[in-house]
Structure 1
Amino acid sequence: MIVITAPTGQIGGRVLGILLDEAPERGEELRVIVRDPGKLPDAVRARVDVVTGSHGDAEVVDRAFAGADAVFWLVPPHPQAPSLDAAYSGFTRAAAKAFTAHGVGHVVGVSALGRGTPAAGRAGHVTASLAMDDLIAGTGVAYRALACGSFMENLLRQVASIRDDGVFTDTATADRTAPMAATGDIAAAAAGLLLDRSWTGTGEVPVLGPEDLSANDMARIMSEVFGRPIRYQRQSLEDVRAALTGRGMGNALVEGYLDMMRAKDDGIDEGVRRTPETTSPTTFRQWCEEVLKPAVQA
């Protein structure tokens, strides 16, 4: 039995889709934890065991992890969390107890690059993600943290600006290169680990994409894909603070984002060497053609 959390999200939904294709052939049963089962397609609900509720709730994970061999773990956004610890480790503590209580053997989580770097202790959401990894690893389960930098899908939040103004924004220096991965590749890495549970112990599995890219590189590629100029506009941290606060995000998470952005611009994502094992296949150009361009044109 494999349990999938966040099955309606960008990554969890893709993990579920891959497992629905491959798990039955291996005799694997699937269970999902979801707040609103109505968000799952009827065809999906018919093929999985559904536990309704939040996977931060002790009673919910106690039911969901009974008989489970493996769990895909992803913490959902919590804009009003009182602290980063509450948003990550606090949300995970009930599940960590349930892993032990039910003898779950393997857990795959989504986390961040940066462990072992000088900035790891002051990188906001990254620091909180790494602390969550330590909490899970401390339960004794075999654990793999998918260590990711930036997601290509983050650009989907800027579809209107790209379409109307030919502009995308971030806080990074325009020519600083860093790894970037498509969420589909992250999901594929997670599904592979969940299906082949021959691994033991704890560790990280970096998912770096095929190449490091700067904002200037991204602007050039987007311009070529769209056939018109797309330019990068660097935002100040104060502008980001105002935007996040204006969306109703609590102060603790806002400050966490700003600390993470500072750390990224200082190179926290650059500490892992790209190898065939850490390289994921989807190029930024391919993603723009297959995902971003249709979203902008829609």
Structure 2
Amino acid sequence: MKIIITGSLGNISKRLAEQLIAQGHAVHIITTDPGKSRVISALGATAATGSVTDAVFLGRVFAGADAVYTMVPPNFAAPDPIAYYEQVGQSYAEAIRACRVKRVVQLSSWGAHLPAGTGIIVGSHRIEEIFNGLDGVDITYLRPASFYNNLYHYVDMIKNSGMIATNYGGENKVVWVSPRDIAEATAEELVRPSVQKIRYVASDERSCNEVAAVLGAAIGIPDLQWLSFPDEQVKATMEQHGVPPLTAGLLVELNAAIRTGKMREDYDLHPPVLGKVKIEDFAREFALAFK
């Protein structure tokens, strides 16, 4: 099969490419960085350099594809994150339609069932709506939970203040996922017709207190705490550290949706089999990064 992967050599896409190449598929990886072409070739894939907001470029790459994995690359410079999601989604949809791609796996998110109230995840909802307008395309929406990798954002906070703090924490229950488990689920979906239109992907379910205890033990701070502060206080702190007000508001809204349980409403109705990578496994990687 000719399979197109977006996301360059990111935490999911590189692992996904390696799995598909090992299975004998012809893999093409889209990247914005020409310097990564050599690494992509060394993996056994074909590099395509361009932007996922360029539908004409995507149309050239998607031509003749049996399956496409789509995701929204991070763009912290985007003045309006939701509008950026929509722009990428429209470009994908235009290329999929033009090239008559029959199989698509889209990296969405838990909470994407809601049209509002989930911060940046509203962008994932909008892309699902855009893709639902495509005719004759077999689409699976992967809805992973909170990435373990997001915990790396707290390294400096732990070093400077000895704690983790945001506008959720304590005994708030969070569903966590490893990019490795996402890559494995994506590889399964790309090479078969969709068994289910929506597939949740998760690795572990732990409270913030439990996560803090596991991470703290791994980094030598056994009394590490994860505290929850008011939404407005967290938003103000983000803005003081240079996060644009719109983006800060969306991030705080997302965190609040985790705290209230809004993010997991549909997940709880369709709980998946948990993946292989548990928080204790991730803690070993976190400790290396911390030290």
TM-score (norm 1): 0.86
| Whole-Å separation in 2 of the counterparts to 1:247 and 1:91 | 27
Does the C-alpha gap of structure 1 residues 121 and 43 become closer, same or farther in structure 2, counting only changes over 3 Å? closer
The Cα shift of 1:170 comes to 2.7
| Whole-Å separation in 2 of the counterparts to 1:253 and 1:85 | 9
Does the C-alpha gap of structure 1 residues 174 and 228 become closer, same or farther in structure 2, counting only changes over 3 Å? same
What is the 5 A alignment of 1:129-208?
129-140=124-135, 141-163=137-159, 165-194=161-190, 196-199=191-194, 203-208=197-202
Unpaired runs of at least 5, structure 2: none
Q: Which residue of 1 aligns with 2:268?
A: 273
| Whole-Å separation in 2 of the counterparts to 1:61 and 1:45 | 23
Question: What CA deviation, in whole Å up to 9, does each residue of 1:243-267 have, x standing for no partner?
Answer: 5435554443322212212211110
The Cα shift of 1:45 comes to 4.7
Give 2:4's aligned amino acid.
V
Q: Which residue of 1 aligns with 2:212?
A: 219
Give 1:282's aligned amino acid.
V
Question: What CA deviation, in whole Å up to 9, does each residue of 1:207-248 have, x standing for no partner?
Answer: 1223x2111111121233334322223344334434543555
| Whole-Å separation in 1 of the counterparts to 2:160 and 2:144 | 30
Q: Which residue of 2 aligns with 1:257?
A: 251
| Number of aligned residues | 287
The Cα shift of 1:20 comes to 2.7
Give yes or no for contact 1:14–1:187 (8 Å, CA) kept in 2: yes
Task: Indicate which of 35, 38, 54 corresponds to 1:38.
Answer: 35
Give 1:144's aligned amino acid.
T
Q: Which residue of 2 aligns with 1:228?
A: 221
Unpaired runs of at least 5, structure 1: none
Does the C-alpha gap of structure 1 residues 287 and 185 become closer, same or farther in structure 2, counting only changes over 3 Å? same
Give 2:3's aligned amino acid.
I
Q: Which residue of 1 aligns with 2:48?
A: 51
The Cα shift of 1:179 comes to 0.8
| Whole-Å separation in 2 of the counterparts to 1:123 and 1:259 | 6
Are 2:120 and 1:125 aligned?
yes
Does the C-alpha gap of structure 1 residues 193 and 29 become closer, same or farther in structure 2, counting only changes over 3 Å? same
What is the 5 A alignment of 1:22-101?
22=23, 24=24, 28-39=25-36, 42=39, 44-45=41-42, 47-101=44-98
> Residue 192 of structure 2 aligns to a residue in which SS?
coil
> Residue 211 of structure 2 aligns to a residue in which SS?
helix
| Whole-Å separation in 1 of the counterparts to 2:257 and 2:39 | 43
TM-score (norm 2): 0.88
Give 1:179's aligned amino acid.
V
> Residue 287 of structure 1 aligns to a residue in which SS?
helix
